[in-house]
Amino acid sequence: MSARFYCPDPPRDGRLRLSRDESRHLTRVCRLGLGDRVEVFDGRGFLATAEVVSVAGDSVELALAGEPPRPRRAPCSLTLATAVPKGDRFDWLVEKATELGVERLIPLVTDRSVVEPRDSKLSRLRRLILEASKQCRRDRLMILDDPVPWTRCLASCPESIRLLADPDGDPPGRWPPIHRGRSLALAVGPEGGFTTEERARADQAGWQPINLSVHTLRIETACLAGCSALLTLCGGEGLDQAES
């Protein structure tokens, strides 16, 4: 398995130049050098195999070489809108949502929210998404939005099947049919859940309540359990061969 590096700039004349941090990671951590082949991605779907052709201090240049790796695609487009758990539990949630293949994560501000991540926290989490994407071999970076009030989020994702995690919701056997390629949105509330008014507004906006477990789940557990179940239902293995 080739080492993997992030390069957001498009190739020029078949050449790519890594950033200072990525160059250091290649030479000092991975201990790679001239002639070694690696995988590069831009976080937007571009994926290629490249060979190290120049190393000068903290600057590494690559040349495209050989067939590109097979694209890795989630079976559906899944947006996760969630209240933010306390402490480092949100870091863990963001990392695992990236690994699972969640396309977009929206931090929610609800009536019972106790945490609203600031810009510095969001910047750090976006770096975490990049590192997790390199590790799990994901081609497109998960989008992390700025915090959004639940009342504003209700009208988002109109083209999606919109689902609300709710202990009183429908069990899995009564969830709506979910097919490969569909757009889905899952909303998870704060500790204590959505208020009665918030749930009523969700119902009026067309969000369907679903039950994820016979037990009461923490925010991050509900998020990952729900996302795993939905991704499995709409695609099985979770990989899709690129069209030729």
Residue 28 pLDDT > 90: yes
244 confidence band (pLDDT: 50, 70, 90):
very low
Amino acid present at 135: Q
234 confidence band (pLDDT: 50, 70, 90):
confident
CA–CA distance from 194 to each of 15, 85, 134, 211, 242 (Å)?
51, 14, 35, 14, 40
β-bridge partners, 12: 15
CB atoms within 10 A of CB 56: 8
Residue in the structure block whose two tokens are 């933010």:
84
pLDDT value of position 73: 84
Instruction: Report how far residue 7's alpha carbon sits from residue 20's, in angstroms, rounded to the nearest whole number.
Output: 11
Instruction: Report how far residue 230's alpha carbon sits from residue 196's, in angstroms, rounded to the nearest whole number.
Output: 25
Mean pLDDT over the full length of the chain = 92
Instruction: Report how far residue 207's alpha carbon sits from residue 54's, in angstroms, rounded to the nearest whole number.
Output: 54
Residue in the structure block whose two tokens are 């201090």:
57
238 confidence band (pLDDT: 50, 70, 90):
very low
pLDDT digits (tens, 9 = 90+) for 64-79: 998 888 888 888 999 9
Domains (range + CATH), the chain = 4-64 (2.40.240.20), 77-233 (3.40.1280.10)
Decide: 223 and 78 in contact? Cβ < 8 Å: no
Count of all residues that appear for the chain in the document: 244
Helices (H), 5-118: 20-24, 89-100
DSSP 43: B
**Cα four-point dihedral sign 92, 97, 98, 100:** positive
Strand, coil or helix: 68: coil
Residue 83 pLDDT > 60: yes
pLDDT digits (tens, 9 = 90+) for 138-159: 999 999 999 999 999 998 888 8
Mean pLDDT value of segment 157-183: 90
pLDDT value of position 236: 54
